[in-house]
Amino acid sequence: MPFGRIYRMIGLLSAFFVSACALPYASSEPPGESFARPAVADVIVAGFDNISDKYIEKVTLSRIGVEGLRGLGAIDPAISLREEGDEIVLRDGGVEIGRMQYPAETDVRAWAAAVVALTEKARAHSNDVRKASAEKIYEAIFDGALSDLDIFSRYAGSAEATRNRAKRDGFGGLGIRFRVDRGVAIVTKVIKSTPAAESGLRQGDHIISIDGAYIRGLKSREITKLIRGPVHTKVRLKLSRTESVQPFTIEVARAHIVPETVTTRVNDGIAIIRISSFNHDTANSVERALEKLADPSSPPIIGIVLDLRGNPGGLLRQSIKVADLMLTQGDILRTVGRHPESLHHYEAGGNDLASGLPLVVLVDGKSASAAEIVAAALQDRDRAVVVGTSSYGKGSVQTVIRLPNDGEITLTWSRFVAPSGYYLHGLGVVPTVCTSGKEKLSQASGIIEAALGGDEPGYSSIWRKRAFLNQKERRGLRENCPSEARRGGLDVEIAKRLILDGAAHQKALRQTTATAEAIN
């Protein structure tokens, strides 16, 4: 339907209102604010259409529209909505200000037009809604529409969405990290092979000004905004350095920067690869790390610890690629949802770049989503021993929908199934060696002995005995190894001991295998 028809429909629907308030209709364009009806309708059509089409469970347009309108109460609590038969009644402080019949259930454009028309009625009678920017209204409507779906479906305005895209896809920047200490911006890291490194920027440099703007007292986010910009554009930094007599200025050309998510260190012949999140460069970074470790010129290693503690997840396909780097065959993941494009089956098909070396994966209560995919795949495929606590249990996949206003809706549209057949959502990954409640390094031997003391798999076999467990069963299983945030060195120490003791590592793998086979 041409957008011109949307605007005519808005006018038609507005005629359906029966005002119950004596206040005159206020101007829809308050000074200093922008509420362009065509643009607002365009954004709401895109949002409502995607929610109704792609959400993991069927959700009606009437539910989306009504809950979206109720969201206006977040701007002005006096604004409320009642459903009376086949009509929607908008109220301000209990006084009716508009009434209309439900649009057709399948007509997303009619629902968008209705929401815009009712929103204009709210603007006419509420100072708070009238003063709200279009972005504030989008936030209220989409938050309302998504609020009773699930905690992972949400709306991000254009500013927040821009930051989210920078984390996933990268941004135009210099390649530095900094902290603000008592109003002073101090460079804490210069990333290799970036414009910052090539320009001679150093850790410890103090940034005085950016393009002539003095930054003392600015917040980190404000400084970041000044540093970032279009790729290939130049930025001038005035710096002070301990060994320099006076401040100096350098000019640096911005480049596409993807935040580092992978760090590697070698300790006692064991490589510890930490992944902090999953963005567009994570799999490539892990691949480069594994290739460097395997290089004949590098010191030989006897095993690998993959540290996913505190990793909140990120891009699904990056987690698939990371798991595939250490698997040669077999399932990695299945995703199931309502939309046809949400159904996927991922299998390993490459080489094990770790060359079969003993592998231990560390997880904790903050390991979620993509991190859980990697841990579950390596565990179920008999490739790694998992150490730590029950993971977060975010077993759902979100698709990101970019809206015409440059905002985003992150929408749950599928759930993932581990190779052994269990649903991760609400359950998470169970470690073979549980460290919940333990902190002292001296406890490492006892923890390993307790975990590997028997020949039969314990409670973890129930974890995979069938595809889906109810909430009570999930809660009971997780209580066997309570979810915790882990920071100390105990988990790493246990991982190293398992790698150094080949028999213990193999026994832990056999327990995992027996568990996975229990459902076949």
Q: How many CA atoms lie within 13 A of 154 on its CB side?
A: 7
Percent of the chain with pLDDT over 70: 88
Instruction: Look up 380 and say whether it is catalytic.
Output: yes
What is the reported pLDDT for 423? 87
Under the banding of pLDDT at 50, 70 and 90, the label for residue 470 is low
Element housing 388 (H / E): strand 385-388
> Which residues are within 8 A (CB) of 281 and not within 5 positions of it... i.e. 6 or more apart?
170, 258, 261
Average pLDDT across the chain, whole number: 86
The catalytic position among 276, 369, 391, 460 is 369
Instruction: Look up the CATH number of domain 262-327+349-392+426-517.
Output: 3.90.226.10
Mean pLDDT on 318-327: 96
Quick: pLDDT tens for 358-395: 999 999 999 999 999 999 999 999 999 999 999 999 88
What is the reported pLDDT for 468? 54
What is the reported pLDDT for 25? 31
Strands 385-388 and 171-173: unpaired
Quick: pLDDT tens for 152-211: 999 999 888 888 888 777 788 999 999 999 889 999 999 888 999 999 999 999 999 999
Q: Which CATH class is domain 171-257?
A: mainly beta
Indicate whether 517 pLDDT > 80. Answer: no
The catalytic position among 394, 438, 496, 507 is 394
Q: What separation in angstroms does the CA of 490 have from each of 364, 369, 451? A: 12, 24, 15
What is the reported pLDDT for 479? 82
What is the reported pLDDT for 478? 79
Report the candidate in 459, 457, 467 with the shortest Cα–Cα distance to residue 419. Answer: 467
DSSP string over 146-208: HTTT-TT-EEE-HHHHHHHHHHHH-EEE-SEEEEEETTEEEEEEE-TTSHHHHHT--TTPEEE
Q: How far does CA 267 lie from the centroid of its chain?
A: 31
Instruction: Look up 277 and say whether it is catalytic.
Output: no
Least confidently predicted of 75-84, 205-214, 380-389, 471-480: 471-480
Quick: pLDDT tens for 92-131: 998 999 888 899 999 999 999 999 999 999 999 999 999 9
The catalytic position among 76, 281, 331, 380 is 380
**Cβ distance 407 to 155 under 8 Å?**
yes
Domain limits of the chain? 3-149, 171-257, 262-327+349-392+426-517
**Cβ distance 416 to 362 under 8 Å?**
no
pTM: 0.78
Fold agreement (171-257, 262-327+349-392+426-517)? no
